[in-house]
Chains A and B, each alone.
Chain A
Amino acid sequence: MATAPKPRIKLDKKEAKKGDIVEVKALVSHIMETGQRKDAQGKTIPRKILNKFACTVAGKQVFAANFEPAVSANPYIQFKFKATESGPVVLTWTDDDGSTIVGEDKITVT
């Protein structure tokens, strides 16, 4: 996959009051090859997964995760954060090969 896939990100609210809990849902298309499967010639297909995920809001990390091959293809992640200040919501996935997929949304805190 040469082209970087565009993640789909959805916040349950665009504007929040200070202290509100905001829910984030994100989906990114990725093969998440486990490294366990074999191809038609019996050769192992090398592992290729997104192994790290992190979310920052206004530059501060609110949630992170490490994924193993047991996470499904096209990984979906849903989590929450507490709204404290307005700013960009940046989601970053890191691939085994070191490349990253970045998606962005924003939250306005009133």
Chain B
Amino acid sequence: MLQFTRRQALGTGAAAIATATLGLTVSSAHAANDSGDLINKFTGGKKPTEGKVKLDLPEIAENGNTVPMTVSVESPMTEASHVTDVLIVGDGNPNGGMATFHFSPASGVAEANTRIRLATSQNIIAVARMNDGSFYTVSKQVKVTIGGCGG
């Protein structure tokens, strides 16, 4: 008689499905992380002016693991007037810092795109430093349905 292989190892698989509890915590209980300090350090204590910077992010991100983000700064990008650095921070991640972009007149256009992780719904803040030492900023709120920091 033929003997069947044992197929009893199926039990463990089903447990993981129950974890998707759809925790839509869009309350603005912003865990204070180091984003404010990072901005202060970047600007040297100066208060950045609103404007010139544009952040392109989805209003609602379904998957916080990879959220496309475009930042652009209005500037002629000449030797005389250009953007040198752009700092991106988020106030709802375990660490505030996300990325810093460095531009020069050789960049031609101050624009960059990458994909970021968002642990929860939060404000993304971009701060641009100009070569004359002035700072411009913009912030944008993104709602996240599934966070990007879990297993």
Q: Does A86 contact B (CB under 8 A)?
A: no
Question: In the complex where A62-B107, A81-B108 touch, is A72 in contact with B115 (Cβ < 8 A)?
Answer: yes
Q: Given contacts A62-B104, A70-B97, A73-B65, list 6 more A-B pairs with CB under 8 A.
A: A21-B109, A65-B100, A70-B99, A72-B66, A77-B114, A78-B113
Q: Does A36 contact B (CB under 8 A)?
A: yes
Residues of A within 8 A of B104 (CB): 61-63
Question: In the complex where A65-B100, A65-B101, A68-B98 touch, is A80 in contact with B107 (Cβ < 8 A)?
Answer: yes
Q: Does B135 contact A (CB under 8 A)?
A: no
Interface residue SS majority, chain A? strand
**A residues apposed to B, CB below 8 Å:** 21, 34, 36-38, 57, 60-73, 75-82, 84
- Please state if A71 and B106 are interface contacts (CB–CB under 8 Å): no
Residues of A within 8 A of B108 (CB): 21, 80-82
- Please state if B114 and A78 are interface contacts (CB–CB under 8 Å): yes
Residues of B within 8 A of A79 (CB): 101, 107, 111-113
**B residues apposed to A, CB below 8 Å:** 65-67, 70, 77, 90, 93-95, 97-109, 111-118, 148-151
Quick one: which of A36, A62, A80 has the most chain B CB within 10 A? A80
> How many Å lie between the Cα of A71 and that of B100 in the bound state?
11
> How many Å lie between the Cα of A71 and that of B98 in the bound state?
6
Q: What distance in Å separates the Cβ of A90 from its nearest Cβ neighbour in chain B?
A: 14
Q: What distance in Å separates the Cβ of B129 from its nearest Cβ neighbour in chain A?
A: 14
Question: In the complex where A63-B101, A71-B115, A77-B112 touch, is A84 in contact with B106 (Cβ < 8 A)?
Answer: yes
Residues of B within 8 A of A72 (CB): 65-67, 114-117, 148
Q: What distance in Å separates the Cβ of A3 from its nearest Cβ neighbour in chain B?
A: 23
Residues of B within 8 A of A63 (CB): 101-104, 107, 112
Q: What distance in Å separates the Cβ of B121 from its nearest Cβ neighbour in chain A?
A: 15
> How many Å lie between the Cα of A57 and that of B107 in the bound state?
10
